[in-house]
Amino acid sequence: MRALVVYESSFGNTERVARAVWEGMRQRLPDAALRDVGSAPRRLPPELELLVVGAPTQAFGMSRPRTREDAQRQAGVDSPVPGIGVREWLRELEHPERPVHAATFDTRIHTPHVPGSAAVGAWRVLRRDGFHVSAEAESFWVLGIRGPLRDGELDRARSWGVSLVSLLSGPVGSATR
């Protein structure tokens, strides 16, 4: 596995974006993997070269237990609140011993003058922890708290996924050839 996409999602929008990013990456990197944050490894595989992390922006940044609880209530879901989000996963993630590229994205509502981005928060943590974060933190837009995504965002996510593979130095294959 040379690349891994890890995502968190309360209503499914970030999951759809993550899947599209992953599909884009797989066009050139067939063994790229996709994991929900709850099942993502705390120790990255030694051959990993690119880590992509995506999360919904909640309360101006990465989610916390309280915002996930809030989201769950709004979704009308009765199941237990997920104990871990990207913020907690990054805290537990072992720092890489060799260079690993990283990129981050979030979903959020496009509201003028409302600051805050989970992707920027995750980007800062990854940079501090020694990852190479050469791509800018990226946002994909939803129309409301529960979504849906704006038209065209999944296509944009797929293209972004394709472009991320160029961060890798070695040869990459093509799944479509």
Ligand X SMILES: Cc1cc2nc3c(=O)[nH]c(=O)nc-3n(C[C@H](O)[C@H](O)[C@H](O)COP(=O)(O)O)c2cc1C
Q: Binding residues for ligand X, per CB under 6 A?
A: 9-15, 56-60, 67, 70-71, 74, 107-109, 114, 116, 142, 145, 147
Q: Shortest Cβ distance from residue 136 to ligand X (Å)?
A: 17
Q: CB nearer to ligand X: give 2 or 156.
A: 156
Structure tokens at 171: 């040869």
- CA–chain centroid gap for 17, Å, is 8
Q: CB nearer to ligand X: give 5 or 142.
A: 142
102 - beta bridge partners? 51
Question: At 120, which helix (H) or strand (E)?
Answer: helix 118-128
Is the C-alpha dihedral spanning 15, 86, 159, 141 positive or negative? positive
CA distance 21 to 7: 11
CA distance 77 to 17: 21
Q: Shortest Cβ distance from residue 83 to ligand X (Å)?
A: 16
Q: CB nearer to ligand X: give 14 or 27.
A: 14
Q: Shortest Cβ distance from residue 75 to ligand X (Å)?
A: 8
Q: CB nearer to ligand X: give 132 or 146.
A: 146
Q: CB nearer to ligand X: give 27 or 57.
A: 57
Among the listed residues 115, 138, 174, the one whose alpha carbon sits nearest the alpha carbon of residue 52: 138
* Contact yes or no for 142/105 (Cβ under 8 A): no
DSSP label at 61? B
